[in-house]
Amino acid sequence: MMDGQRTPFQAYRYLLPALVLEAGFVFAPLALSLFYSVHRVRYYQLGDFNGVQNYLDVLSHRLFLNSFLVTCSFSLMALALTFAVGFGLALFLNRDTSGSILLRTIVLLPYVIAMLVGSMLLKWIFSTDAGLVPLAAAWFNITSPTILADPDYAMAAMVANGIWRDSAFAMVMLLAGLRSIPPNLILAARIDGAGSFMIFRRIMLPLLRPAILITLIRLLLHFANVLTFPLILTGGGPNNATETLALRIFRIGFEDFDLGKANAMAIVLCLFNIVAVILLLAVFRKTRGGQSL
């Protein structure tokens, strides 16, 4: 091959390492999951081909709809609030003063703590009988509700877990987007008489679109699939009020020992993720008048 010449295979050579990784860590497990989902796999032992029976069983179970709705409501609430808090923090800390650097570090702390440890910490904080929240409430002569044993409060606690931990991620992503905006654009707008809100709406927001989209997709996928929050913080309760699809998969697979059904549900969750991302992309395209990003 001579310098400057390209062969059709050259691109694939560069892509090969990434494709191998994808094949090993994404496609192979997905194929295996699909395989298990159409077989009877009880007590971790592969049984007979089962067709779509596992799918029918999990979809017709009375708790499936509950888990689906819990996943949707948790994902949407956590996504909106985490993004809003993360965006606010990014705008507030978009400068390099010593105070901002210190604050950024503090905000990042929950994100660098292991998810499991963070959720255990919050469980202790929210506990009515032994936690910090009731203690703080008592100082103000307020009787604290039983946060983790009330269906509504338990969902709120789970959303709070998401905001507490992941707004730092949103902040980092959006801060990187903000830093990529050329300062002379903003300067020129100011010279032309634009106010802060106008600069935000007409310059920053359009230029932040890629960062916003990536942040939203990443957060949405994270919240739709997260297991640690419901497993550790609320245990899916009370009265299944916080039992997400991910937790249900875990329980069917590792507590009922039925990997066939668990994998069928995992495939359903995978499809749910794909649909959610497509919807998000569609909303973004629509707001941009049909143009791609």
CA dist 53 and 55 (Å) reads 5
Contact call for residue 177 and another protein (CB under 8 A): no
Other CB atoms within 10 Å distance of the CB of residue 74: 22
Residue of the chain from 75, 90, 174, 258 that contacts another protein (CB under 8 A): 258
- Residues with Cβ < 8 Å from 16, sequence gap 6 or more? none
Give min distance, CB of 127 to another protein, in A: 7
Q: Which is nearer to another protein, 42 or 209 (CB)?
A: 42
Give min distance, CB of 28 to another protein, in A: 15
CA dist 166 and 106 (Å) reads 13
Give me the half-sphere count of Cα atoms (radius 13 Å) on the Cβ side of residue 229.
28
Contact call for residue 129 and another protein (CB under 8 A): yes
Give me the half-sphere count of Cα atoms (radius 13 Å) on the Cβ side of residue 171.
26
Contact call for residue 48 and another protein (CB under 8 A): no
Contact call for residue 140 and another protein (CB under 8 A): no
Contact call for residue 238 and another protein (CB under 8 A): yes
Q: How far apart are the first and last CA of the chain?
A: 36
CA dist 173 and 166 (Å) reads 11
Alpha-carbon dihedral sign for residues 245, 246, 249, 254: negative
Question: Which amino acid would we find at residue 42?
Answer: R
Contact call for residue 227 and another protein (CB under 8 A): no
Q: Which is nearer to another protein, 127 or 215 (CB)?
A: 127
Question: Which amino acid would we find at residue 39?
Answer: H
CA dist 248 and 224 (Å) reads 12
Span interacting with another protein, options 150-158, 166-174, 178-186, 213-221, rule CB under 8 A: 150-158
Binding map of another protein across residues 193-212, x = CB under 8 A, - = no contact: --------------------
CA dist 231 and 63 (Å) reads 16
Contact call for residue 44 and another protein (CB under 8 A): yes
Span interacting with another protein, options 12-20, 105-113, 126-134, 177-185, rule CB under 8 A: 126-134
Span interacting with another protein, options 10-18, 213-221, 229-237, 275-283, rule CB under 8 A: 229-237
Other CB atoms within 10 Å distance of the CB of residue 130: 8
Residue of the chain from 32, 56, 256, 283 that contacts another protein (CB under 8 A): 256
Span interacting with another protein, options 108-116, 170-178, 202-210, 231-239, rule CB under 8 A: 231-239
Residues that bind another protein (CB under 8 A): 42-45, 62, 127-130, 134, 138, 143, 146, 148-151, 154, 231, 234-240, 243, 254-258
